[in-house]
């Protein structure tokens, strides 16, 4: 287990390069979006949002980006689903993929392509869509 912990901190340090920094930011923006949709825009009443905002600060995300993410999250109409996949990379290394997506078909197709690229087998373990409270579900029903 200790090997993995070091990996996650190494990963963040190596994330100093531009491309990786923008990926780190877009991950956090997504997490902010999901948190706002789940529990509203006020961090005081929303633990998930509070956590996402702390992580944004920890990643040195500029305040402008954070504000933009918050206002976009309130307006955004698409519903995000949390989906996970498990499979194997070459040499029997197990992979666990966590996704946040507004289009599970696109995600499945991309994940499959990546696994075909370098992996041996895969199994999608789709989870239920993110929106579980009444207000949010009626929003996602509208989209259908």
Partner 1 sequence: MFERKGIITLLKGDLNADELQMEIIDAGVEDFEETDENFVITTPVESFAAVQRKLEEMGIEAENAELQRIPVETKTLPVDDALKVLRLVELFEEDDDIQNVFHNLEVTEEIAEKMDS
Binding site for partner 1 (CB under 8 A): 1-10, 12, 14, 23, 26-27, 30-31, 47, 51, 54-55, 57-59, 86, 89-101, 103, 106-107, 110-111, 114, 117-119
CA distance 84 to 96: 7
Tokens read off for 66: 């954070």
The nearest distance, CB 135 to partner 1, in angstroms, is: 24
The nearest distance, CB 93 to partner 1, in angstroms, is: 5
Our CB check for partner 1 shows the closer of 48 and 139 to be 48
Our CB check for partner 1 shows the closer of 45 and 58 to be 58
Our CB check for partner 1 shows the closer of 1 and 121 to be 1
The nearest distance, CB 144 to partner 1, in angstroms, is: 20
CA distance 74 to 30: 12
Long-range contacts of 101-107 (CB under 8 A, 24+ apart): 102/78, 107/83
What residue spans of 15-103 are helical by DSSP H? 18-39, 47-58, 63-75
Our CB check for partner 1 shows the closer of 28 and 70 to be 28
CB distance 131 to 137 below 8 Å: yes
């Amino acid at each position: 287990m200790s090997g993995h912990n070091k990996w996650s901190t190494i990963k963040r340090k190596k994330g100093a390069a531009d491309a990786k920094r923008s990926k780190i930011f877009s991950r956090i923006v997504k997490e902010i979006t999901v948190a706002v949709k789940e529990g509203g825009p006020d961090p005081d009443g929303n633990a998930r949002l509070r956590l996402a905002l702390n992580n944004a600060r920890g990643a040195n995300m500029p305040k402008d980006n954070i504000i933009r993410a918050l206002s976009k999250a309130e307006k955004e109409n698409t519903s995000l689903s949390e989906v996970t996949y498990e499979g194997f990379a070459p040499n029997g290394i197990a992979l666990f993929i966590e996704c946040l997506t507004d289009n599970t078909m696109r995600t499945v197709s991309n994940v499959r392509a990546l696994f075909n690229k370098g992996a041996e087998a895969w199994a999608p373990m789709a989870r239920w869509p993110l929106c579980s409270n009444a207000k949010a579900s009626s929003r996602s029903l509208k989209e259908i």
